[in-house]
A and B are shown apart, each in its own frame.
Chain A
């Protein structure tokens, strides 16, 4: 490897992007860099500006200010050739209900210069058995997998996934994750994922950005973010008298060593819990709301 992908021009680059609707600022200076072949997750509570950010990148919304480059072009001036290099999977699509699955996929393949083979694509998303079925009759998960197939039929270099697994059962979700990983690892597709699902973000994303209150509050690998949490590690064990104990500490290793030293033997029910991505996330959201809204911090443990 002579040129690592990170030195190349990023696929998505945003600098100081702001957005205001009727005097209300929704985004206050968002910066983003997403590199080729990367799975990038944008996390944030409802109303944080996720949708606005993604729609600006998709070219569906005009930003108020700032610089944006997606696949080397300004999305506001993206032409058909540019469109052809982008794939889109949205939550709300209920279109083409009367079409048959294979018919729809084959039709959308005709718009692209070098499409995937529709039959192979159906196999890839696990819809071969539904090829002749009417789109209307698909289950929610099948419909979403068809949306994914339609999103990648033109071999996009950049794929937008908007809350892709909402309403999936665990198995369908797992299969979907495998599919996204394959696209990114084997075919070098860059993926921008928006999600509420922290487990999904942690599982899929190379890097995660947390958008809270119209600002990127944190950005990094899942591990980096988890470590950045203000929350400390938690050590749990069962004391000699049988009562469960827990203690928060910056240095769990030291605490465990001390416990062992004092006990001079094995310790029942010993468990070390590292701060999780969820801790970081809730901490960010909590900070933003600053105690004004109790709803979101119901799960936040005292830090």
Chain B
């Protein structure tokens, strides 16, 4: 143990020998993680304080509750209320939307405003950005999911998982579902041109999948080719997995295969997760690498010419 150590003398005139910037008090990776988590926390606080965005998330929950309250029949061939199928489907859609609509939009907007460039110019900025976005997306997704299920259970006699096994299924389907859509959403956000076009490009296929994936009515009422196309995408399997967690076992009679097909749920979602990661890593790296001051200026000029509000 030495005596007192002067760590920094900010105002000495002759600091000419260039310390090299490696005398940090902590290891850099730890500092970046900390910065990322802090950043995620701050972004989350901004989200909670932003009435426009919050109402967007809450509106989804309200719409789901209203539809669930409106439908009164049972799922055909079972004694399960149709409302429960709708709620499970909407729960899946919420996860899907956070990953594939909200996340890409956020990425495109922040890229366009220059946040990505600033973080690129900051040591550890990009890893911290990704940590923050993951935190934000997971908390938003899980938060709205729980809000939907709990408020449905409270006000609309909605379904809750049965026993520990049901909760466990809810947990792994949610986790795997997010892993399937979040990296994919990041990849999409890395390539989409700008926020205005991005929304149009994303919303159309999303709405298509919402209708064809058996989220708000049984998929078996759709033509088989449509079912087959929908089965390629994660939403159908996320909804099916959540139904297996939320609906009584007898309700599986209404599933296309007559069972929950949980191994298939896991398989398809894992495949999308792997694909998403394979796409997201190089595409995000490319997006960050391509950022520069002149590209940013060019985009602002273009946006200004096309009449978009430039603040």
Measured CB to CB, the residues of A under 8 A from B are: 5, 8, 36, 51-52, 54-55, 58, 60-61, 71-72, 80-86, 88, 90-99, 103, 107-108, 110-114, 136, 150, 154, 157, 162, 188
Contact = CB atoms under 8 A, between A and B. Distances in A.
B115 interface: yes
Given A60-B293, A107-B38, A157-B18, A113 B24 contact: yes
B32 A90 contact: no
A83 B123 contact: yes
Interface in B130-170: none
B153 to A, nearest CB: 33
A51 B294 contact: yes
Interface in B265-311: 291-294, 296-297, 300, 310-311
Contacts of A8: 16
Nearest to B49: A98
A157 B20 CA distance: 10
| A interface secondary structure, majority | loop
Given A84-B123, A92-B114, A93-B296, A113 B23 contact: yes
B4 interface: no
Contacts of B42: 99, 103, 107
B14 to A, nearest CB: 8
B15, B20, B294, B311: which has the most chain A beta carbons within 10 Å?
B294
Contacts of A91: 293, 297
Interface in B2-38: 8, 13, 15-16, 18, 20-25, 28, 31-32, 34-35, 38
Interface residues of B, number: 42
Nearest to A80: B123
Given A90-B293, A98-B46, A99-B46, A111 B31 contact: yes
B296 A92 contact: yes
Nearest to A104: B42
B114 A108 contact: no
Given A61-B292, A80-B124, A93 B114 contact: yes
Nearest to B126: A80
B25 A94 contact: no
Given A51-B293, A61-B292, A81-B20, 7 more contacts: A5-B16, A52-B294, A90-B114, A93-B114, A95-B110, A110-B31, A154-B122
B242 interface: no
A84 B21 contact: yes
B122 A94 contact: no
A157 B50 CA distance: 38
Contact of B123 (A90, A111, A136, A162): A111
Contacts of A188: 13, 15-16
A214 B61 CA distance: 58
B117 interface: yes
B115 A111 contact: no
A285 B128 CA distance: 45
Contacts of A58: 121, 292-293
A180 to B, nearest CB: 18
12 contacts: A80-B28, A84-B21, A85-B21, A91-B293, A92-B114, A95-B117, A97-B311, A99-B42, A111-B125, A113-B24, A114-B24, A136-B311
A83 B35 contact: no
Question: Which residue, B50, B115, B117, B122, has most C-beta atoms of chain A within 10 A?
Answer: B122
Contact of A98 (B18, B35, B50, B310): B50
Which 7 A/B pairs are nearest by Cβ-Cβ distance? A113-B24, A95-B115, A60-B292, A84-B123, A80-B123, A92-B296, A90-B293
A118 to B, nearest CB: 13
Contact of B22 (A81, A96, A97, A150): A81
B12 to A, nearest CB: 10
Given A36-B16, A60-B293, A92-B296, A110 B34 contact: yes
Interface in B37-64: 38-39, 42, 46, 50
B311 A94 contact: yes
B157 to A, nearest CB: 38
A96 B106 CA distance: 12
A55 B35 contact: no
Contacts of B34: 110
B113 interface: yes
A112 B123 contact: yes
Contact of B122 (A36, A83, A90, A114): A83
A71 B17 CA distance: 12
Identify the interface centre among A85, A111, A188: most chain B CB within 10 Å of its CB: A111
A86 B24 contact: no
B123 to A, nearest CB: 4
